[in-house]
Amino acid sequence: MITIFYPRNGFNILGCKERLDRALLKYELVMVSESTEARLVDGETEVEGMAAIEAYLEREQQFVNSWYEDRCDVYDFDPDPIQKGDDVKG
């Protein structure tokens, strides 16, 4: 799960939230009043700063998009390939 710790002011948390919602990624947003810099934690990965967080979210979004592009139902699959006139013994 992605957790973003963000300061009260100066960070576009709504932009991150919209992006995470579109990518259907599980996340948590935590405001840290005394913080001056945003930080993202995803498992063992940790990035700090708005530019680094945006870059990380972009990579994750591309990964999710490619995941859906590679799913099986994208390909033309005929579950009943027998053509009319085929000799079928059953």
Grade residue 84 by pLDDT with cuts at 50, 70 and 90. Answer: low
Grade residue 80 by pLDDT with cuts at 50, 70 and 90. Answer: low
Residue 90 has pLDDT above 60, yes or no: no
Q: Which domains does the chain have, with CATH numbers?
A: 2-70 (3.40.30.10)
Contact 27, 4 (CB under 8 A): yes
Q: What are phi and psi of 10, to 5 degrees?
A: 90, 10
> What confidence score (pLDDT) does residue 30 get?
94
Query: What is the mean predicted confidence (pLDDT) over 54-64?
Result: 89
CA dihedral 30, 33, 34, 40 (to 10 degrees): 20
